Amino acid sequence: MKLFMFMSNAKDMNLLEHTLLNIQSINTDSGREAGKRFKEFAIPQGSLGRLEELATFYASVRGIPGREIRHKVVFVMAGDHGVAEEGVSSFPQEVTCQMVKNFLSGGAAINVLAHHAGARVVVVDCGVAGPVESAIVHGATAGLKIKKIGHGTGNIAHGPAMTRKEAIKALEVGIETLEEELERGDVELVATGDMGIANTTPSTAILVSITGVGVEEVVGRGTGIGSDGLARKAEVVKRAIEVNRPDPQDPLDVLAKTGGYEIGAIAGLCLGASRHRLPVLLDGFISTAGALLACALEPKVRGYLMASHLSAERGHALMLQKLGLKPILDLDMRLGEGTGAVLAMPLVEASVKLLLEMATFSQAGVSRADGRGGS
């Protein structure tokens, strides 16, 4: 979508506009260098399956690297949602702030898995209702950035989640966060993560708004709500669409009326990473809702995205279908936090190592399938 079609106030759009205007298209393996390498390696052609695809994707975004991937970051965007008061989650809203503290102290699943993958964890307060400053702990194992846009969004069942200006700010928080991390040092692989009680509800509303799919087809159980809660959640999403009437042709309108601060920041992170030619491993349902918005703002972003896994959340498969992404893993997960994304990181790393380190037929002295000698 062209920038001028949704800009409401150019002076508020400097960072966002600059980012959008500097995102380049990805031409998969444009020089065919990765493809040529795999054809020369001493293996049956295509025998590495999707590992070859992952390495080719990475090389298309970054160029053939000179060394293995070393600098990986997972960004956990946190925010609260006014719609939580509708009873759409099995957990109370204060859990968002409590989990931020857990991230910082290193006790959450994302900390364990990120440590396993060798990835740095960056937690961003985009709009947590509670005082995140009090969650800062001594000896924190994860970095914290406080970029609070508001103390939770509005209740989308009764009105918009945020103003259009706040929606722009949410996108820019994601861009700023990425650029600050680049200033800190090298970043070679980005993963998205989220934390926000009730955030599957706005994510579902975003999916419905953008695709026009029926609510009943995609509404899921989120934190594990029962049948009554699921029916209530479906009604809340329907009400949010009816009350706010988001414009599917205007992704900023969809974000402002039905989204969340952390979802907007994830969208901004996707935009910022694309601007700097960084590959992005998407986590699950909430992260992919952010990616849908980013791709609606600038379709070229699609070329920078990988789907780490298929979430058990009901609407995720449709989101990935809409984006044309095939998940790397399918582990029946629905935790969020970035857990699926960091689990996929070692596979991307392994694929790049294969591209860099495997011996060719000639180097290994192995004959080809056509009988030509290997030496």
Q: Report, as residue numbers or ranges, the catalytic residues.
A: 337
φ, ψ (nearest 5 deg) of residue 309: -160, 165
Task: Judge whether 284 and 307 are in contact, CB under 8 Å.
Answer: no
Q: How far is CA 60 from the centre of its chain?
A: 19
Q: Using the Cα atoms of residue 242, residue 244, residue 245 and residue 251 in order, give the sign of their dihedral.
A: negative
Q: How far is CA 185 from the centre of its chain?
A: 21
Strand partners, 124: 77, 145
- Per DSSP, 119 falls in state E
Per 3-state DSSP, the chain is made up of helix, strand and coil in percentages (nearest 5) of 50, 10, 40
Q: If residue 123 lies in a helix (H) or strand (E), which one and from where to where?
A: strand 119-127
- Per DSSP, 305 falls in state E
Are β-strands 189-195 and 72-79 bridged in parallel, bridged antiparallel, or unpaired? Answer: parallel
Q: Which amino acid belongs to residue 359? A: A
DSSP 172-228: HHHHHHHHHHHHHS---EEEEEEE-TTTHHHHHHHHHHHH---HHHH---TTT--HH
- Per DSSP, 281 falls in state E
Closest to 336 measured CA to CA, from 201, 145, 208, 194: 194
Burial of 22 (0-12, 13-18, 19+ CB in 10 A): exposed
CA dist 240 and 252 (Å) reads 16
CA dist 58 and 224 (Å) reads 35
